[in-house]
């Protein structure tokens, strides 16, 4: 099970007109703790930053799954309700999950979401699809000594 942390990193970036501008970008990191998430985002972002960099915030998210698309340049948050029927009361229950989906457009993200859900036997309904400010997603790095 992944633990996704949203990390905001502040640094100076060279913008189109050649001026240095302070920006804060958002990244998702799969980590076991806040400390590991901070260390990972520093490790991943440092090669792309010249000068000072500051991890402005690290917060745990409720993202349950990530659907990637290497051709996409945006990330969308899809809130989905999984619908079950309580056998005793016959009442409909809705469990909300959040899934981060890559897509170049809203339709692309929707299509990637539906493709990712193809094997799902559960009934579900999309509650919301929102474009995020996330620039990149860094999955957990597995130590070579832990792989069999």
Regarding whether 110 and 72 lie in a shared domain, the answer is: yes
Contact 29, 7 (CB under 8 A): yes
What is the CB-side half-sphere exposure of residue 145 using CA atoms within 13 A? 0
Regarding whether 86 and 35 lie in a shared domain, the answer is: no
Regarding whether 116 and 96 lie in a shared domain, the answer is: yes
State the pTM of this model: 0.88
121 in a structural domain: yes
Domain ends where: 40, 61, 82?
61
Regarding whether 118 and 81 lie in a shared domain, the answer is: yes
d(CA 148, CA 144): 8
**CATH number of the domain residue 79 falls in:** 3.10.20
Contact 66, 137 (CB under 8 A): yes
Regarding whether 81 and 43 lie in a shared domain, the answer is: no
Residue 148 reports pLDDT greater than 50? no
Regarding whether 31 and 72 lie in a shared domain, the answer is: no
d(CA 95, CA 36): 29
* Mean of pLDDT over the chain: 92
The number of angstroms, rounded, from the C-alpha of 59 to the middle of its chain's C-alpha atoms is: 12
Of the two residues 87 and 97, the one the predictor is more confident about is: 97
Residue 38 CB contacts under 8 Å (≥ 6 apart), including other chains: 7, 55, 58
In the chain, DSSP assigns E strands to 4-14, 20-30, 53-60, 63-67, 74-85, 92-103, 123-131, 134-138
pLDDT given at position 143:
63
Residue 34 reports pLDDT greater than 90? yes
Domain boundaries, position 110? 62-132
Distances 99 to 3, 47, 141 between C-alpha atoms, Å: 13, 28, 20
Of 86-90, 91-95, 99-103, the range with the lowest mean pLDDT is 86-90
Distances 84 to 56, 61, 113, 128 between C-alpha atoms, Å: 40, 24, 20, 19
């Amino acid at each position: 099970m992944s633990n996704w942390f949203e990390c905001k990193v502040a640094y100076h970036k060279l913008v189109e007109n050649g001026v240095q501008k302070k920006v804060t970008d958002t990244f998702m990191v799969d980590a076991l703790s806040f400390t590991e998430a901070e260390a990972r985002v520093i490790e991943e972002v440092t090669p792309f930053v010249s000068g000072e960099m500051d991890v402005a915030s690290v917060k745990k998210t409720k993202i349950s799954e990530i659907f990637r698309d290497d051709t996409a340049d945006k990330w969308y948050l899809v809130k989905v309700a999984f619908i079950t029927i309580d056998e005793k009361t016959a009442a409909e229950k809705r469990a909300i999950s959040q899934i981060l989906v890559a897509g170049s457009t809203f339709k692309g993200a929707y299509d990637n979401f539906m493709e990712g859900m193809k094997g799902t036997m559960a009934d579900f309904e999309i509650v919301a699809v929102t474009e995020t400010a996330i620039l990149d997603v860094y999955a957990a790095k597995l130590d070579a000594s832990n792989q069999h």
